[in-house]
């Protein structure tokens, strides 16, 4: 398990150097980002974060993206729930603002105390528990993808089934056209850095 940033790049480098099969090498990816997103939405909507189903995918960094097209609370579209049951005026904008806070939260924490060690430790615990207990948890870890919306040979965060085998398989989400473009941009950003390493 790779934790150090830039986690997607270092996951790719670790995979190539180790010679392990791709399922045995994974990065913490956007597990923490996703947990923060669910928590902030839960605070705004007064609902248990366990009832919020959404993911942040892509690079763990500036080009990551939330998957609003698949996001649900209690089985209904997240915007519908936020508007009808949490009485959020202009739910779409509120959710976008929450995501921006999540994306920039690490910078704020580092500025305040120098590191984000406690929260990432909890993410590592969640991933490790899923492996050791063979839980088949679906977590947005950084893993090697092949022909994912035409993208290959990059380690990037996507929801994956994590168990005793490591990454058992990753899931191909039904992304909107805009999300596909954003995901491709995120992957391209990582691939440009990988090319400079020469692995």
In tens, the pLDDT along 82-124 reads: 999 999 889 999 999 999 999 887 556 555 555 666 788 999 9
CATH level 3 topology of 7-197: L-2-Hydroxyisocaproate Dehydrogenase; Chain A, domain 2 (3.90.110)
Phi and psi at residue 143, in whole multiples of 5°?
-145, 160
pTM, entire model: 0.93
Report residue 33 as tokens. Answer: 């980002």
Position 126 pLDDT exceeds 60: yes
**β strands within 12-120, DSSP E:** 52-53, 56-57, 65-66, 72-73, 76-77
Residue 158 β-bridge partners: 141
Position 55 pLDDT exceeds 70: yes
Which residue ranges make up each domain of the chain? 7-197
- Catalytic annotation, pick one of 58, 60, 66, 140: 60
pLDDT (tens digit, 9 = 90+) per residue, 136-185?
999 999 999 999 999 999 999 999 999 999 999 999 999 999 999 999 99
Residues in the chain: 199
Q: Identify whether 60 is a catalytic site residue.
A: yes
């Amino acid at each position: 398990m790779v934790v150090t940033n830039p986690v997607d790049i270092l996951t790719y480098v670790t995979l190539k150097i180790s010679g392990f099969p791709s399922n045995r090498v994974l990065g913490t990816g956007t597990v923490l980002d996703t947990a923060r997103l669910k928590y902030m939405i839960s605070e705004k909507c007064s609902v248990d974060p366990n009832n919020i189903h959404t993911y942040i995918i892509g690079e763990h960094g500036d080009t990551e993206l939330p998957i609003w097209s698949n996001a649900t609370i209690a089985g209904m579209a997240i915007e519908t729930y936020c508007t009808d049951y949490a009485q959020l005026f202009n739910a779409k904008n509120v959710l976008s603002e929450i995501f921006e806070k999540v994306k920039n939260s690490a910078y704020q924490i580092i500025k305040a105390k120098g590191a984000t060690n406690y929260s990432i430790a909890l993410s590592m615990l969640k991933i490790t528990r899923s492996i050791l207990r063979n839980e088949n948890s679906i977590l947005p870890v950084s893993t090697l993808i092949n022909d994912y919306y035409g993208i290959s040979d990059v380690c990037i965060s996507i929801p994956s089934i994590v168990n005793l085998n490591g990454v058992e398989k990753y899931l191909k989400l039904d992304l909107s056209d805009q999300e596909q473009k954003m995901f491709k941009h995120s992957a391209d950003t990582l691939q440009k850095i990988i090319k400079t390493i020469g692995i």
